[in-house]
Chains A and B, each alone.
Chain A
Amino acid sequence: NAGVMQNPRHLVRRRGQEARLRCSPMKGHSHVYWYRQLPEEGLKFMVYLQKENIIDESGMPKERFSAEFPKEGPSILRIQQVVRGDSAAYFCASSPPDQAASGANVLTFGAGSRLTVL
Chain B
Amino acid sequence: SQQGEEDPQALSIQEGENATMNCSYKTSINNLQWYRQNSGRGLVHLILIRSNEREKHSGRLRVTLDTSKKSSSLLITASRAADTASYFCATVLRDDKIIFGKGTRLHILP
Question: Which residues of A are at the interface with B, using a C-beta cutoff of 8 A?
Answer: 4, 31, 33, 35, 40-45, 48, 55-56, 58, 91, 93, 100, 103-112
User: Which residues on A sit within 8 Å (CB–CB) of B67?
Assistant: none
Question: Which residues of B are at the interface with A, using a C-beta cutoff of 8 A?
Answer: 2, 30-31, 33, 35, 40-45, 48, 50, 88, 90, 92, 94-103, 105
Residue of A nearest to B4 (CB): A42
- B41 touching A111 by the CB < 8 A rule? yes
Residue of A nearest to B95 (CB): A56
- B102 touching A41 by the CB < 8 A rule? yes
- A103 touching B30 by the CB < 8 A rule? yes
- A107 touching B41 by the CB < 8 A rule? no
Residue of A nearest to B50 (CB): A104
- B2 touching A42 by the CB < 8 A rule? yes
- A105 touching B100 by the CB < 8 A rule? no
**How close is A1's CB to chain B, nearest CB, in angstroms?**
15
- B98 touching A107 by the CB < 8 A rule? yes
